């Protein structure tokens, strides 16, 4: 059921303890939903939330959305039951598990082994359920390269700003926002480190939540910052953030057309018919093999977002 390579521009958090929100989620335009058993669910509500989540996965039509469940972290007494109940109950309609507060490869490997055991026991394809690792502690960031490399089930690394800020003792209560007393972007280091580790191991990089759900300008600023770096998408906590999020993590039409144009122009000019040249002019811009690689990224994001071309290359 793996969702490797699928679009994850917007990843909607849905508390497993809310039957009303679970019922509403299938109709919303998010690329991914994750049904939450962790911080959005009170300890006493977790057993009922597991049952709600299994029923929602089985009973609702989720269309083309990536279906994920966030379990509790490996240091809690809930984690093993989360995995067993959700995967035994609805493993055939589940794409991924989100593992929070990943501090070391051992946490991911524990989940990988448990998933393999359950898949074998219930007759699901072994390795079919992916893992998304939340990097949201100082230890997790310190080990992010080893974590990114540690399991073939891994599909994404996700930045968790709220827990991360707490973990490093950041003096702020404004999650994911610039800090008024800090002259730069306090998250630049963590974002680049996570993104580089993800790309080095073929994983998607996902930005975490923006908590002021009514402040769409603040949300957009926070999303644009990571979309510009190359992140694939962001968590959304409210339906009102979804369309904006999809738009921000898709290339705009002009950039998409330009990327396709570079690919076509470069393919033509490097062919026999085009003179087999390596570096060529496209309008007033010089393009070469590195331009082709950059263009591939934008073109792939545009195609995944369903964009179609509005211009063509003329030799």
Rule CB under 5 A: say whether 163 interacts with Mg ion. yes
Least distance in angstroms from the C-beta of 166 to Mg ion:
9
Which residues from 148-187 bind ligand GLV, rule CB under 6 A?
160-163
Judge whether 301 and 268 are in contact, CB under 8 Å.
Answer: no
Rule CB under 5 A: say whether 31 interacts with Mg ion. no
Cβ burial, residue 13 (10 Å; 0-12/13-18/19+): buried
| Dihedral in degrees, nearest 10, Cα atoms 222, 16, 34, 168 | 50
Residue 103-142 contact track with ligand GLV, rule CB under 6 A, x = bound? -------------------------------x-x------
Least distance in angstroms from the C-beta of 314 to ligand GLV:
48
Least distance in angstroms from the C-beta of 38 to ligand GLV:
7
Half-sphere exposure of 83 (CA within 13 A, CB side): 25
Which residues from 111-140 bind Mg ion, rule CB under 5 A?
136
Interaction partner, residue 156 (ligand GLV, Mg ion, none; CB < 5-8 Å by kind): none
How many other CB atoms sit within 10 Å of the CB of residue 198?
Answer: 26
- Rounded Cα–Cα distance for residues 48 and 208 (Å): 26
Which one of residues 15, 89, 208, 302 is an interface residue with ligand GLV (CB under 6 A)? Answer: 208
How many binding residues for ligand GLV (CB under 6 A)?
8
Quick one: which of 261, 205, 258 has its CA closest to 234?
205
- Map 281-307 to HEC letters: EECCEEECHHHHHHHHHHHHHHHHCCC
Residues lying near Mg ion in the complex (CB under 5 A) are found at: 136, 160, 163
Residues lying near ligand GLV in the complex (CB under 6 A) are found at: 134, 136, 160-163, 208-209
């Amino acid at each position: 059921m793996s969702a490797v390579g699928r679009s994850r521009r917007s990843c909607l958090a849905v508390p497993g303890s809310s039957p009303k929100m679970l019922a509403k989620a299938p109709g919303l335009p998010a690329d991914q939903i994750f049904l939450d058993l962790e911080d959005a669910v009170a300890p006493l509500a977790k057993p009922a939330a597991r049952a709600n989540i299994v029923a929602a996965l089985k009973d609702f039509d989720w269309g083309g959305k990536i279906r994920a469940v966030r379990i509790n972290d490996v240091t809690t007494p809930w984690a093993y039951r989360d995995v067993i109940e959700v995967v035994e109950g609805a493993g055939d309609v589940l794409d991924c598990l989100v593992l929070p507060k990943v501090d070391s490869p051992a946490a991911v490997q524990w989940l990988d082994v448990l998933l393999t055991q359950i898949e074998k026991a219930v007759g699901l394809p072994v390795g079919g359920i992916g893992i998304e690792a939340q990097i949201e502690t100082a230890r997790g960031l310190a080990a992010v390269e080893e974590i990114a490399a540690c399991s073939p089930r891994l599909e994404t690394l996700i930045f968790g700003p709220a827990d991360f800020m707490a973990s490093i003792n950041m003096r702020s209560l404004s999650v994911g926002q610039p800090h008024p007393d800090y002259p730069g972007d306090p998250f630049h280091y963590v974002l680049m480190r996570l993104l580089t580790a993800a790309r080095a191991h073929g994983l998607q990089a996902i930005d975490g939540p923006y908590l002021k759900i009514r402040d769409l300008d603040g949300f957009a600023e926070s999303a644009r910052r990571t979309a510009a770096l190359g992140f694939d998408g962001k968590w959304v906590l409210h339906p009102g953030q979804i369309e904006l999020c999809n738009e921000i993590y898709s290339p705009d039409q002009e950039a998409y057309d330009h990327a396709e144009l570079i690919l076509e122009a470069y393919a033509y000019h490097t062919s026999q018919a085009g003179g087999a040249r390596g570096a060529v002019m496209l309008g007033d811009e010089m393009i070469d093999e590195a331009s082709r690689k950059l263009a591939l990224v934008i073109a792939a994001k545009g195609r995944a977002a369903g964009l179609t071309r509005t211009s063509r290359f003329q030799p």
